[in-house]
A and B are shown apart, each in its own frame.
Chain A
Amino acid sequence: MSTPLTSQAVEPAPGVRAHHEELSWWRKYVFSTDHKIIALQYAFTSMVFLLFGFMLMVLMRWQLAYPERSIPALPFVIPLGIIGLVVIFIAGVKPSINSLMGLLLLGLGAMVMFLTSGEERMPEGIMLPEFYNSLGAMHGTIMVFLGVVPLAVGAFGNFVIPLQIGAPDMAFPKINAASYWAYFVGGVVMLASFFVPAGAAQSGWTSYPPLAAVTPLSRDVLTGQTMWILGMVFLITSSLLGSINFITTIIQLRTKGLTFMRLPFFVWAQFVTSFLLLLAFPPLEAAAIFQLMDRVVGTSFFLPSGLVLSGTPLNVSGGGNPLLWQHLFWFLAHPEVYVLILPALGIVAEIIANNIRKPLWGYKAMVYSLIFLGFMSFIVWAHHMFLTGMGTVMSAFFQTTTMIISIPSVVILSCLFISLHGGSIRFNTPMLFALVFLPMFGIGGLTGLPLGLATSDIHLHDTYYVIGHFHYVVAPGTLFGLFAGIYYWFPKVSGRRMNELWGKIHFWGTFVCMNVIFFPMLIQGMAGVSRRFYDGGQQYAHAQSVLYLNEVMSIAAWVMAVFQLIFIINFFVCIRKGKKVTENHWQATTLEWAAAPTPPIAHGNFLTRPVVYRGPYEYSVPGHAKDYTPQNQARDV
């Protein structure tokens, strides 16, 4: 980019100051091509979506715990309103991240008000089954595609990769901005789908046809499901642009001396993740185009002949195959699971190495496992489809590859566990989240084994066991990794640190609640409770013995919401008023702490180009004066 390096430091003339500052705020924070600003745009947008997806779940949990009972909307809305006002109050009147976020929180409150009213959604506060389905579908879509992936890849990847590899920016700054804006538009389309007649998509985050191709029964062009597809096309474009950028940046822009085996594990994780995004998303794009054609033009890609809907034969040419969608969808969505988990693994590895004050055990084994994992993730997708009747030969193949892919995951996790041995561990907030990630991801992984075996999957398929397993990987797994990352890199972004005491309160509350929410799901699932019951299984005899768990889980979810409010307040207060920290707050070795100033300069990052002399985790090297030796340090001083 030709933008001068010192754009931040230019002082406007005294007379035009107020107007000029406002303009520069928009130029600097909204239409920016600097990777750090784009990362922050990703971070704030995705955190809003995470909160919104969580709110949808909070509403669903009411329905599951107390079906047929009117929902008290105000307890859900008032905290959002208060927090929004507090955040705005901290910000003051001038435009800033805080005031914008405060307004967004108020907007979220209004959105929840809207969702909990209306005859077609919740007549007299009682949730209709169709609306429950919408909430489920959109919770999954928003959490995965608009929340976790943009935060893990778009935000953390964008911010940290160029700094860790000693690059001035991403390889293609404009494409980077385009990637964010495509994501933003996709998110807006998804949100807007709540407002069209018949509401948002109802066919689950997987959008299986033929259901997804024919519901809602509306001749309107813009139905919720159609908007879901259009939104996905934008999100796919966004991740395509992003992944091209990440891979090119890591290959081309590593600084002098930074060989591949000297890369921090986080960069490796993002590198493999980007390849998964690059190669796995296009088949979903193809599938989305097919489904769009089915819905809008009236083709029959996923509609078999002789389909009867509500007693009347469907007037289509037929001859399509619903399983085709499942194959194309899971060809993306299984690698997507690794897209969700690998960046978090990378973050956790960084934080663990930093806080045990010794090198990671088996760095090379971890890297090779990562590459193998990325490769294998492309050939396990049909383990989601054991019950579709695709045949035992296929099942046997995919069950075998699924068992094989667990090996590299176990290698990485074991390396991280063994790394802890003999370290003098610093138990700060990021480390607590990172440490707990290990057993939580372990539970998530191990509960996946019975699902990966075709025989035991017959019993567990489509039950709450699947929900519990998946959420153990993504919620106390990935989300804890992301929380750890937020606490860890917050000082680098803002020059301040988050409050440790409130951080620890947030950690313990979330940790306990997470397990109270998700462990009962495993129990319910083993009892055979289906994941799709909109009344939580009240009408089913086999669910009666585990029905009481619904209320337990729901209360835990609401208590967890309170702990997230603590996080939000801690976050925004500390942007303004947090304790100022030194440049290398955690005494880390990697380049983003060792070479770049805090916060790094806009468009350029480094004062001089760093040169790398050593591996990423040279902690407690015997004979050295300090217990950490930064990568850019030529010899012991």
Chain B
Amino acid sequence: MEIPYTSAVHPETGLYNAKGGIWLFLASEVMLFGALFTSYILLRVGATEWPHGSAILNVPLATLNTVVLITSSVTMVMSWASLMMKNFGRYRLYMGLTILLGLTFLVVKSFEYGAKFEHGLFPSTSTFLAIYFTMTGLHGLHVIGGIIVNSYLWGPGRKLWKTDPQRFTNRIEVAGLYWHFVDIVWIFLFPVFYLL
């Protein structure tokens, strides 16, 4: 017996296996970042003093990064849509753009980190900086993970398109769901740390 619904859709749930799996994974990610944001609130409420984010952090750079990440979500959808329209060349273009935008985000972020370290602002300096570095760092790790997966699907993993195009398209959809989640986390992180 073969495992059913690896690429076909289950008639009752409307999901193929990987799509069900990624939604469950994202549910657990929501709990992870939910716990982190809750901790942020508890630490901030309990603190005697709490700096305004814009006094320490670089708002223009972060705004740029927000635009970069949202754009990358758009190109991610375009890459999936291209596959749905059987246009593999277009897929590679958009997926490549998504990867580049992800890398751009990381480069900008590393400039931000570097500037903080130059000014002697480290995670151990204050609770604000501690949770800022922890949460954005963890988000950065998620971005790196997404870039690795996307690069695989752009590069060596694309061979699957020739043998099983439906399953390959599914993989792009699943990777896209994850990438959008990473994007959404940043959309929460940006106002919480930089604007509030």
- Contacts of A245 on B, CB cut-off 8 Å? 21
- Are A321 and B42 in contact, CB atoms less than 8 angstroms apart? yes
Q: Is the interface of A mostly helix, strand, loop or mixed?
A: helix
Binds B, one of A16-24, A248-256, A421-429, A568-576: A248-256
Which residue from chain A places its CB closest to the CB of B10 in the assembled complex? A252
Contact with A along B95-129 (1 / 0, CB 8 A): 00000000000000000000000000011111100
- Are B32 and A248 in contact, CB atoms less than 8 angstroms apart? no
The verdict on B134 contacting chain A, using a C-beta distance below 8 Å, is yes
Q: Is the interface of B mostly helix, strand, loop or mixed?
A: helix
- Contacts of A173 on B, CB cut-off 8 Å? 3
The verdict on A282 contacting chain B, using a C-beta distance below 8 Å, is yes
CB distance from A8 to the nearest CB of B (A): 15
The verdict on B46 contacting chain A, using a C-beta distance below 8 Å, is yes
Contact with B along A240-267 (1 / 0, CB 8 A): 1001110110011100000000000000
- Are A319 and B39 in contact, CB atoms less than 8 angstroms apart? no
The verdict on A300 contacting chain B, using a C-beta distance below 8 Å, is yes
The verdict on A287 contacting chain B, using a C-beta distance below 8 Å, is yes
Contact with A along B40-61 (1 / 0, CB 8 A): 0011001110000000000000
- Contacts of B5 on A, CB cut-off 8 Å? 171, 252-253
The verdict on B24 contacting chain A, using a C-beta distance below 8 Å, is yes
- Are B28 and A279 in contact, CB atoms less than 8 angstroms apart? yes
- Contacts of A293 on B, CB cut-off 8 Å? 123, 130, 134
- Are A300 and B35 in contact, CB atoms less than 8 angstroms apart? no
The verdict on A5 contacting chain B, using a C-beta distance below 8 Å, is yes
Bound CA–CA A597/B43 (angstroms): 57
Contact with B along A1-42 (1 / 0, CB 8 A): 100010000000000000000000000000000000000000
- Are B35 and A283 in contact, CB atoms less than 8 angstroms apart? yes
The verdict on A453 contacting chain B, using a C-beta distance below 8 Å, is no
Binds A, one of B12-20, B83-91, B153-161: B12-20
- Contacts of A328 on B, CB cut-off 8 Å? 35, 39
The verdict on B36 contacting chain A, using a C-beta distance below 8 Å, is yes
- Are B39 and A317 in contact, CB atoms less than 8 angstroms apart? no
- Contacts of B17 on A, CB cut-off 8 Å? 171-172, 248, 252-253
Bound CA–CA A231/B5 (angstroms): 34
Which residue from chain A places its CB closest to the CB of B24 in the assembled complex? A244
The verdict on B1 contacting chain A, using a C-beta distance below 8 Å, is yes
CB distance from B155 to the nearest CB of A (A): 20
Contact with B along A334-371 (1 / 0, CB 8 A): 00000000000000000000000000000000000000
- Are B130 and A299 in contact, CB atoms less than 8 angstroms apart? yes
- Are A252 and B43 in contact, CB atoms less than 8 angstroms apart? no
The verdict on A634 contacting chain B, using a C-beta distance below 8 Å, is no
- Contacts of A298 on B, CB cut-off 8 Å? 122-124
The verdict on A286 contacting chain B, using a C-beta distance below 8 Å, is yes
CB distance from B124 to the nearest CB of A (A): 4
Bound CA–CA A299/B1 (angstroms): 53
- Contacts of B131 on A, CB cut-off 8 Å? 301
Which residue from chain B places its CB closest to the CB of A316 in the assembled complex? B124
The verdict on B188 contacting chain A, using a C-beta distance below 8 Å, is no
Binds B, one of A57-65, A393-401, A548-556, A603-611: A603-611
The verdict on A507 contacting chain B, using a C-beta distance below 8 Å, is no
- Contacts of B47 on A, CB cut-off 8 Å? 319
Task: State which of B1, B28, B125, B127 has its C-beta within 8 Å of the C-beta of A605.
Answer: B1
- Contacts of A247 on B, CB cut-off 8 Å? 20, 24
Task: Among A247, A299, A300, A320, find the residue whose CB has the most chain B CB atoms closer than 10 A.
Answer: A299
Bound CA–CA A252/B13 (angstroms): 8
With A301-B130, A301-B131, A605-B1 as contacts: A286 and B36 at CB distance below 8 Å:
yes
The verdict on A480 contacting chain B, using a C-beta distance below 8 Å, is no
CB distance from A302 to the nearest CB of B (A): 10
The verdict on B27 contacting chain A, using a C-beta distance below 8 Å, is yes
- Are B21 and A171 in contact, CB atoms less than 8 angstroms apart? yes
The verdict on A457 contacting chain B, using a C-beta distance below 8 Å, is no
Task: State which of A168, A175, A317 has its C-beta within 8 Å of the C-beta of B3.
Answer: A168
Bound CA–CA A167/B125 (angstroms): 54
- A-B contacts, 8 of them at CB < 8 A, read A285-B35, A286-B32, A290-B134, A293-B123, A293-B134, A297-B123, A319-B126, A327-B42
The 3 closest A-B pairs by CB, nearest first: A168-B1, A283-B35, A282-B32
Which B residues are within 8 Å of any A CB, using their own CB?
1-5, 10, 13, 15, 17-18, 20-21, 24-25, 27-29, 31-32, 34-36, 39, 42-43, 46-48, 122-127, 130-131, 134, 138
For the complex with contacts A172-B17, A319-B126, 8 further pairs of A-B residues with Cβ separation under 8 Å are A175-B21, A240-B25, A283-B31, A287-B35, A289-B134, A319-B48, A320-B43, A609-B1
